[in-house]
Amino acid sequence: MLNRLLITGAAGGLGKMARNRLGHLAQTLRLSDIGEMAPAGSNEEIVTCDLGDRDAVMKLVEGCDGIVHFGGVSTEQAFDPILNANIAGVYNLYEAARAAGMPRILFASSNHTIGFYTQDQHLTVDMPTRPDSLYGVSKCFGEALASMYFDKFGQETAIVRIGSCFPEPKDHRMLATWMSEDDFVALIERVFTIPRLGCPVIWGKSANDRSWWDNSASEFLGWRPKDNAEIFAPAMDERMERPDRNAPEARFQGGKFCAEPIYKD
């Protein structure tokens, strides 16, 4: 059991899920966000923190021996908020971790690092990134930073390219990208209990029949996803039409992000 596990982005969807389901991993959960969070429970600490504030992040990470980093901008936006939270913020987090004895990190990357690959392509983790957005570019930066901190300092990180983690897939593209909450929790458990982690890139997806992603490089983790989005396909076909084959959500692995404009401040 960890002494103190930090969950950033604790006010978001994944952060709330992690708060509810990861209490068994640590004596104390330290929960952080810039948004409003529910009051602290018996084994919880609430810390409001802007990831772009270096001194605040240093204090946030102090005393933690594990970090689940969900914090930051999670949609395509103008560059300045992405720069603050996803680029400067990730640098601040890694510098704080280095100062705090290098607690193991799970870094929430994204399928939008590879979004411009088409849906007829099957990817391994060593293929070049093809980001579909400024958001995707920021996640490529985070992956590169994690890799450098491992090679230079030995900072271990699980780089998880999350597909679509919801209770169930929301559209046809997610039949390939979906990761169940149960499978994600099982992955997080492995990340913080395996004796040696290194800095692997892991596709964050369940055992979906329609998956585009090969996770053989991370089999050493011992994580075996059990769920399959295919069980949702019949009901989805009944309630919504398949997108036109030329639509971004039917052509590209990143879906609609590939058609997003560059937003101005």
How far apart CA 53 and CA 138 sit, in angstroms, is 18
Q: φ and ψ at 39, to 5 degrees?
A: -55, 155
Q: What's the half-sphere exposure (Cβ side, CA atoms, 13 Å) at 84?
A: 12
CA torsion 160-162-167-170 (nearest 10°) is -170
Instruction: Output DSSP code: residue 252.
Output: B
Would you call 149 a catalytic residue per the annotation?
no
How far apart CA 91 and CA 82 sit, in angstroms, is 13
Residue 70 CB partners (closer than 8 Å, separation 6+)? 7, 8, 9, 10, 12, 14, 15, 18, 108
How far apart CA 75 and CA 86 sit, in angstroms, is 11
Which of 151, 157, 141, 51 shows the shortest CA–CA distance to 106? 157
Q: Which of 94, 135, 149, 263 is catalytic?
A: 135
CB 47, CB 57: distance < 8 Å: no
Kindly list the catalytic residues. Answer: 135
